[in-house]
A and B are shown apart, each in its own frame.
Chain A
């Protein structure tokens, strides 16, 4: 009989919490059978500031997703975002042990151990160890096993974060009564959905413009080279409008969504939009150009920070597949052309795969879809390593004894 398992993917974002329930069928395919969303309260720039409010929002989203799926989930794949996330590159260097200087699996294993041995400052924990390639006697190689050399280096990109902030995320999910099976950094989750294997092979930068932050991941040679977070997101654009036009945050958000454009368009000079739009007291005309200028300034700042962050890594030679924008913030009109102008390479809007149902193809769902996709891959690996459970284990699982 085909084995079916139900996994959950949860993204706790600054503006919303999204939960998806996926059904794994026979470790080969995935059906999305449940969706739940709620407004995120108590989250700022991807970090939890009010535990109870976040718990309520998250549990409401998971509960809705379980109801729409009709099944309880057995575990959650959780995204992680926020300014506290940092990454660094480290190499584990070992001498090739065999007398004939042929690289063996044992050498790779020692190199991996060495690469992961890097100590962290107190209060920090590793989230990912992403293998980013091999160097054999200083030259880049794809698969070193069987090749001859003296020194083998295993390159890793390590992602770490604040232990307390990660622990808060874990406890929010645990409070619902489910364990967190794995944690994935948002940018990696988005990148896995948006970028194709070919683009990852050639070199591509994926930018997930969220509400509180912009997460990025750089691929080349099919591997992750660099990840990071820029503390500018959709909320900053809204705040700028609110301050610049002296309007409320709610009005600013509405203006941004209805009329926002990151590119300054002189043809709209002299055009106005009504603040409220129904001629009530307090309603006033707002020049379109004012809106565009405010948004453009923030957009330029965002991409300038990214340009400075990447430096020589961000050229058309290094990243021939260009830049892909995703996330809710990427929907702002004109953002792509601003990005192209600042970064100097091709920028396009990311698209979720066509096999995803239509309501989930919007760019703001790329992270949570990536989590589910990650979960599928992880389950496939787990099943290969561990055969299916016996009857007693299945019975014990009913009573949460295992």
Chain B
């Protein structure tokens, strides 16, 4: 309460010169209650203020001094297990051999980006996702390339080596495929390989081949399972500029020649020809040329049945 200093009561000129003060012995119960409430409020504000300051101080100490140790101690727990998953045929045995992380490595010492990069160098893997799961696990999930063709290359003068070709043309070494699943894959020949900056080897201009295989697989599954070799020797270009023919060797036809466009129509003609041949008791055909538009040329092996042209 503001106290106005009084010079002398007899000389007071204004009522403001009268000293304003409360006499203790004349305080009423209402005034006492008010003082108590005011005191509690002040004490409360002081305590809250002290609590806030203490909280900030302790929080700051915890974060900047002890917090570092807590964080580092939490993350320095050692790796105990690697959980591996795939949408294909690769398994954790392969992962253990390929990833090569030492046991008891610290969790934060594991370079998950390096692991991802290393996994994707194995071209059977299209993409890899590597995450830490604290306190002590690494989770890996990979998406694999689907092999649709095989390619044989010379390993040395005397031996050959087989690789797989994915839908994107990437050539890769396969792991863990069941023999019965890969034996049905046709080989591809007459192609050019290109090498990308990251060392990936790819088959050039494969999109039409993939389309042919997909259409055939969708509509005539039994037919594509007979196909043994896909030859691109006479196939040129890609996209709208492609020309030439795609040649297929199957179990019962030595050479099927496709034009690189309009696959469904050609496949329908081929199917009818093969059916007709079976009806006639002809097991093997020498050549079926579907690349000439409406005209289909069929060559037979028997001398009794010379080369025939047929309009189908």
Which A residues fall within an 8 A CB radius of B? 51-52, 55-56, 59-60, 62-63, 66, 72, 120, 122-123, 125-127, 161, 163, 166-167, 170-171, 174-180, 183, 398-400
Contact = CB atoms under 8 A, between A and B. Distances in A.
B15 A183 contact: yes
A399 to B, nearest CB: 6
B101 to A, nearest CB: 58
Nearest to A119: B13
B18 A177 contact: no
Given A125-B15, A126-B13, A177-B38, A59 B30 contact: yes
B20 interface: yes
9 contacts: A56-B30, A72-B38, A125-B13, A126-B15, A127-B15, A175-B22, A178-B1, A179-B2, A400-B1
Nearest to A122: B10
Contacts of B17: 125
Contact of A174 (B20, B30, B34, B35): B20
Interface of B: 1-2, 9-10, 12-15, 17-18, 20-23, 26-28, 30-31, 33-35, 37-38, 42, 45
A177 B28 CA distance: 11
Contacts of B22: 171, 174-177
B2 A163 contact: no
Contacts of A183: 15
Nearest to A180: B20
Contacts of B26: 51-52, 55, 171, 175
Contact of A125 (B14, B31, B35): B14
B299 to A, nearest CB: 97
A125 B28 CA distance: 28
Contact of B20 (A59, A66, A179): A179
A166 B17 CA distance: 11
Contacts of B12: 125, 163
Nearest to B49: A395
Contacts of B34: 63, 66, 72, 176-177
B23 A175 contact: yes
B303 to A, nearest CB: 108
B15 A55 contact: no
A142 B42 CA distance: 51
A171 B31 CA distance: 12
Give the one of B9, B17, B20, B30 with max A CB within 10 A. B30
Contacts of B23: 171, 175
Nearest to A61: B30
A163 B18 contact: yes
A176 B21 contact: no
Nearest to A59: B30
Contacts of A63: 30, 33-34
Contacts of A66: 34
B38 A56 contact: no
Contacts of A400: 1, 38
